Amino acid sequence: MKTASDLHPDATSTSGARSPRSILVLTYWGFNDALVQTYTLPYLRIIRNQLPLGSVIHLVTLEKTTTGTRDVEPGIRVHAFRYVPFGWKAMGMMLNLIFRCCSLVREQGIDTVHAWCTPAGMVGYMVSVLTGRRLILDSYEPHAEAMVENGTWARGSMAFRILFLFERLQSRRAQVHIAAAEGMRHYALEKYGADCPRFFVKPACVDLERFSWKNRKRSEVLDRLGLSQELVAVYAGKFGGIYLDREVFSFLRVAREHWGERLHVVLLTAHSAADLEPFMRAEGLEASMFTILFVDHKEVPDLMGVADFALTPVRPVPTKRYCTPIKDGEYWALGLPVVITPDISDDSLIIARSNAGVVLEGLEREHFQQAVKRLDVLLAEGAGMLYGRIRPLAEKYRDIERAVGIYRSIYGNNE
């Protein structure tokens, strides 16, 4: 069995030096999921840089196929377990996961359990209680009530009651809460009775070197996609659940009526054309109007960059005030105006205040028509002018350097 010093065998504790540490990071996603690749790993690298030489971050992922343990890069070791969808069948998975994580804590000398989002926080809470290790909640936002609000669960369902119970328990036990929006502090107190003495706000940040002007309208990408002359809209994400579906295509129909055949839509999504064809057909939209791609995240900056404007169709339910759409920071870094629903994190307010896109006033046809007309005025400014106004939003609100101070405060000593 490897120990925390295996990756740096020459790292020894000397007088005044910090001893190597082991951290357990829990997620509810697969390693190749964008939420791990873009929303977890970049922060783990920041955490690693705050830890003493020889430290190891043990990252737990849930996979539909491959399981096992492997080192993915210096100081980060992945432990992949089998995923079972949330429900009664997931209980066996959870019990096995808790047992295996407790074993990891003992074997690897882990001193901190760091859970990403509240579903993983359920496991984190149990491991923390059973091992006595401190618990940190990251990307802390409501999940149980969000699932009720978007129609996935009923409020009286077992799934809701279990997760909401564990959200309350983990919120009260955690020593550190890292939320996506400031309002989560009040939500935690009101809903969970949790006072959060060490509370940080960290919206979904972006590597500004990877998303910039150099990715905009690259000729080789435009030629490959056949979009050199088109007005292009882009959406990166899912349909259904916490995201709108039918309404997105209703909006695109209005946009098509306004801009005509020059409008093209790039969808960066795991959904297939067959999945989305019923929505297209219902709105009378031809499949040729869409380019649907599922790609590795390293290709996303150039593909987003072909666009003239972007969409963030998060379902506007109350708990989304506490979320953090990753895509908004990426859109802003590229200088793209964003069409967004109201009351989404702090982003809707930022977009409205900065005239960096359009906040929909409703989800009916007349609201879409108003939005398209306002968007048309914005686009008339030209890509360069818009980039100069919108890019600074990413620099101010989503620069990944914002996270460094937070993790330094938490991990920059041997507390």
Q: What is the pLDDT of residues 183-197, one digit of tens each?
A: 999 999 999 999 999
The Cα-based distances of 245 to 101, 116, 150, 250, 312 in angstroms read: 37, 27, 12, 9, 11
- In this prediction, residue 156 carries a pLDDT of 95
Ordered by start, the domain boundaries in the chain are: 22-205+400-411, 213-397
Q: Is residue 2's pLDDT more than 60?
A: no
- In this prediction, residue 324 carries a pLDDT of 86
pTM recorded for the entire structure: 0.88
d(CA 301, CA 19): 39
Q: Could you tell me the sign of the dihedral formed by the alpha carbons of 329, 331, 334, 336, in that order? A: negative
Listed in sequence order, the residues at least 6 apart from 64 whose beta carbon sits closer than 8 Å to its beta carbon are: 30, 82, 83
- Residue with structure tokens 């686009």? 379
Q: Could you tell me the sign of the dihedral formed by the alpha carbons of 274, 279, 284, 286, in that order? A: negative
Q: Is residue 14's pLDDT more than 80?
A: no
Residue 412 tokens read as 């920059």
Using only C-alpha atoms, the chain has a radius of gyration, in whole angstroms, of 22
Q: Is residue 1's pLDDT more than 70?
A: no
Task: Find the mean pLDDT for residues 315-319.
Answer: 95
Task: Find the mean pLDDT for residues 373-387.
Answer: 98
Cβ contact 39:237 at 8 Å: no
Query: CATH number of 22-205+400-411: 3.30.1960.10, 3.40.50.300, 1.10.10.10, 3.40.50.2000?
Result: 3.40.50.2000
Tally of CB atoms within 10 A around 96: 13
> CA neighbours within 13 Å on the CB side: how many for 38?
24
> CA neighbours within 13 Å on the CB side: how many for 392?
8
Summarised one tens digit per residue, pLDDT across range 210-235 is 999 999 999 999 999 999 999 999 99
- In this prediction, residue 11 carries a pLDDT of 37
Residue 200 tokens read as 């940080």
- In this prediction, residue 308 carries a pLDDT of 98
Summarised one tens digit per residue, pLDDT across range 111-148 is 999 999 999 999 999 999 999 999 999 999 999 999 99
Cβ contact 31:62 at 8 Å: no
Task: Find the mean pLDDT for residues 191-214.
Answer: 95
Summarised one tens digit per residue, pLDDT across range 53-86 is 999 999 999 999 889 999 999 999 999 999 987 6
Burial label for 399, CB within 10 Å (0-12, 13-18, 19+), is middle
Q: Is residue 87's pLDDT more than 70?
A: no
Summarised one tens digit per residue, pLDDT across range 19-46 is 999 999 999 999 988 889 989 999 999 9
Residues across the chain: 415
Cβ contact 168:190 at 8 Å: no
- Residue with structure tokens 């793209």? 336
- In this prediction, residue 391 carries a pLDDT of 98
Summarised one tens digit per residue, pLDDT across range 298-312 is 999 999 999 999 999
Residue 236 tokens read as 């990166």
Task: Find the mean pLDDT for residues 367-393.
Answer: 98
Summarised one tens digit per residue, pLDDT across range 250-275 is 999 999 999 999 999 999 999 999 99
Percent of the chain whose pLDDT exceeds 90? 86
- In this prediction, residue 108 carries a pLDDT of 97
Q: What is the CATH number of domain 213-397?
A: 3.40.50.2000
SS3 199: strand
Q: Is residue 10's pLDDT more than 90?
A: no
Q: Output the average pLDDT for the chain.
A: 93
